[in-house]
Amino acid sequence: MPNKDNHRAQLKQLGLAVIQTEAEAISNLTDHIDENFINGCELMLQCKGKVVVIGMGKSGHIGNKIAATLASTGTPAFFIHPGEASHGDLGMITKSDVALALSNSGETGEVLTILPILKRLGIPLISITGNPSSTLATLSDAPINASIAKEACPLGLAPTSSTTAALVMGDALAIALLEARGFTEADFALSHPGGSLGRRLLLHVNDIMHKGDDIPVTEETALVSAALLEMTEKKLGMTAIINQQGDLTGIFTDGDLRRMLENNTDIHITEIKQVMTRGGATISSEKLAVEALQLMQDKKINALLVTDNNKLVGALNMHDMLKAGLS
């Protein structure tokens, strides 16, 4: 048992040591947010085309993620594998683009091979390397230094701290550009329509409400029994109540029904206007769906009517919010 405990303690210490080493590597990057970093940001801000991210091996994986982060935060970008670039993918690059190359050593052969082509196109070159004296850094217009003191791998072989440092530097570039462009939540939502933020910022009440014949509607002079039939058919747990002119006058919900039954009210002789909730909460169709959700939560209600100029145009309930992924 002691051996097992020692083994578990050792695993914990190893994990902590890795985190500590990488945390120190990230902390030291603050010294490298310098003129070259600023120049790199400006080159990307001035870019009329796209940022072409290039990297091999582990740097390639990091580059792929950086390209995705740039693209989703307002800086058009895509990743090219340098090996594939030499076999036709260079045709994807235009003279309007900017290149961002990653290599910890700064001497990766596959990356250096395509640099003359980039230079011939006149494309500005930004690099993220761990060696500011390397070939890649020397040939770059904006060589960004992401050097580290040591890898977290005890053998000093597996890229660990170095890839983390490159990733963080890429994030620093992306967020600096985001701020400089005035990129907003709404802009982010447009590129993430399937995400929760996209749904919250792009989805309107009109997109999810029930319309036309799917809206439960009962005239205020109808009997409660008729209103219950309408509620049962439309399955929204309520019905809108309107007058003879078609104006909304109230709502009748499951809650109203329970209160009515507690008072032993006869559903076959009672008009719905006698037991309905007058007025009630409403929302307009152009409002964001998330605003409808907030209104329902604030008022502790499960259904909501949608009106435009006091005319009933839709209805929704909490189940619609669940289906839309908002709650």
pLDDT > 80? residue 79: yes
What is the per-residue burial (b if ≥16 Cβ within 10 Å, else e) of 45-80? eebeebbbbbbbbbbbbbbbbbbebbbbbbbebbbb
Q: Which domains does the chain have, with CATH numbers?
A: 2-183 (3.40.50.10490), 205-323 (3.10.580.10)
Q: What is the DSSP letter of 151?
A: -
Question: Residue 210: beta bridge partners?
Answer: 315
Report the pLDDT value the prediction gives residue 19, as an integer from 0 to 100.
Answer: 92
Q: What pLDDT score was predicted for residue 264?
A: 87
What global pTM score does this model have? 0.64
Given the DSSP bridges, would you call strands 217-219 and 238-242 parallel, antiparallel or unpaired? parallel
Residue 223: both structure tokens together: 């009997």
Residue 21 has pLDDT above 80, yes or no: yes
CA atoms within 13 A on the CB side of 60: 11
Phi, psi (deg, nearest 5) at residue 109: -55, -45
The model's pLDDT over 139-157, given as tens digits with 9 standing for 90+, comes to: 999 999 999 988 888 776 6
Gap between the Cα atoms of 71 and 170, Å rounded: 12
Instruction: Judge whether 58 and 159 are in contact, CB under 8 Å.
Output: yes
Inter-residue contact 124 to 115 (CB < 8 Å): no
- Amino acid symbol at 72: S
pLDDT digits (tens, 9 = 90+) for 151-179: 888 776 688 999 999 999 999 999 999 88
pLDDT in tens, 86-122: 665 677 888 999 999 999 999 999 999 999 989 888 9
Three-state secondary structure call for residue 1: coil
List pLDDT tens digits, range 27-78. 999 999 999 999 999 999 999 999 999 999 999 999 999 999 998 888 889 9
Alpha-carbon torsion (25, 30, 32, 33), positive or negative: positive
Does the pLDDT of residue 327 top 70, yes or no?
A: no
Q: Which residue blocks in the chain are alpha helix, DSSP H?
A: 2-28, 35-46, 58-72, 82-85, 109-121, 135-139, 161-181, 185-191, 196-202, 205-208, 224-234, 254-262, 289-299, 318-323
Give the sign of the dihedral formed by CA 134, CA 136, CA 141, CA 147: negative
**pLDDT at residue 153 in the model:** 81
